[in-house]
Structure 1
């Protein structure tokens, strides 16, 4: 790449980052529904036209803001559970850890939580990418668990997808936003434990019962 090209790209990247930062501030101040491009431009000290040179629409800006929030504030650190003894424990830890991040956003950053609810409801790329990251990490753990014999042999992609689908209520902001404020963490623990247990090898007694039941 030529030096001149590098110089052109860098200011554009910096401008994009500053728009996302200003947009985040505007969302927290006015809420995502009331935030407009003029508000963002005013916080930047620039014209709306300069913002539209980087983002084609307000929707594109909001999606970028949501993506940044998913990446920076709602990404459970895998290293936080890396020292746990079993793969099952690590899998449960990420399920519950991600859920706690969502609850923290709901209770402590309500305007941004409203934004990610919109992202989930609209199937925005930011939300889809967030779920893909989670499923990718789950897939790695399932693969490790099968390799070590902790989980039963099965199709890794299918097992990971089923696990994520079974606990989606812990990760989907639309569902979390509908929960009562007194929501008990115990039910989340029970759901995560149930989902992890489904990955373990069946005992002989369970296999015999499944055979008798025609499964």
Structure 2
């Protein structure tokens, strides 16, 4: 079984995406714990030496596969109608959208979700980058809320970090994997709404605290 475009005549620089594609297919077939480089090479129709020529060991291969999964399957995109929707609403939508993608992966793509859990447990670069992207998205929405007057002006990076930390249970695959099958989306919505409300309270409380210190 070959995956995607044959790599027979590909230049070396193109092998990486083919290896990641084959590795993803292998993980879905056998699971991350049972997949090995030989399986990936077989799906490529090449020798393991070709794989190791691009990736020096198994660890960076798995990290690259996980990174691609986070980037393509687990990346939420806020709605584009920013002028018509409040920043607070878009923050809730983004939080719940990311949560839904995680639940969808857990229930419909279990082998790859298991790889995402491994990436989180090992704090792989792929998982750290995933969290950085989420924080950047949240930061953009917080900044938009400050511009429209929804949030009191303060350090955007700090506010984004606080918001992400407060709802990490909705985004971290380790928490998602532990959720019961009857988990209610309503509770997720309540938590996201609470976090957004806390954003406003946090900024106001911060201003009051600063005033008392002076």
Report the TM-score when normalising by structure 1. Answer: 0.87
Residue of structure 1 equivalent to 2:6: none
Secondary structure of the residue aligned to 2:200 is: coil
Distance 2:93 2:166 in 1: 15
Q: Which residues in structure 2 correspond to 1:107-186 (within 5 Å)?
A: 107-186=107-186
2:93 counterpart of 1:93: yes
| Conservation of the 8 A alpha-carbon contact between 1:41 and 1:51 | yes
Unaligned runs of 5+ in 1: 1-9
Q: CA RMSD in A?
A: 2.1
2:197 counterpart of 1:197: yes
| Conservation of the 8 A alpha-carbon contact between 2:151 and 2:200 | yes
Instruction: Give the aligned length.
Output: 200
Residue of structure 2 equivalent to 1:60: 60
Secondary structure of the residue aligned to 1:169 is: helix
Q: What is the CA-CA distance between 1:156 and the residue it aligns to?
A: 1.1
Distance 2:74 2:99 in 1: 9
Q: What is the CA-CA distance between 1:83 and the residue it aligns to?
A: 6.1
Distance 1:94 1:81 in 2: 13
Q: What is the CA-CA distance between 1:153 and the residue it aligns to?
A: 2.1
Residue of structure 1 equivalent to 2:27: 27
Q: What is the CA-CA distance between 1:200 and the residue it aligns to?
A: 2.2
Judged with a 3 Å threshold, the aligned counterparts in structure 2 of structure 1 residues 80 and 183 are, in CA distance, closer, same or farther, namely farther
Residue of structure 2 equivalent to 1:41: 41
Q: What is the CA-CA distance between 1:78 and the residue it aligns to?
A: 2.1
Distance 1:105 1:122 in 2: 19
Judged with a 3 Å threshold, the aligned counterparts in structure 2 of structure 1 residues 144 and 82 are, in CA distance, closer, same or farther, namely closer
Unaligned runs of 5+ in 2: 1-9
Q: What is the CA-CA distance between 1:58 and the residue it aligns to?
A: 1.1
Distance 2:69 2:63 in 1: 10
| Conservation of the 8 A alpha-carbon contact between 1:169 and 1:176 | yes
Judged with a 3 Å threshold, the aligned counterparts in structure 2 of structure 1 residues 138 and 85 are, in CA distance, closer, same or farther, namely same
Distance 1:184 1:90 in 2: 20
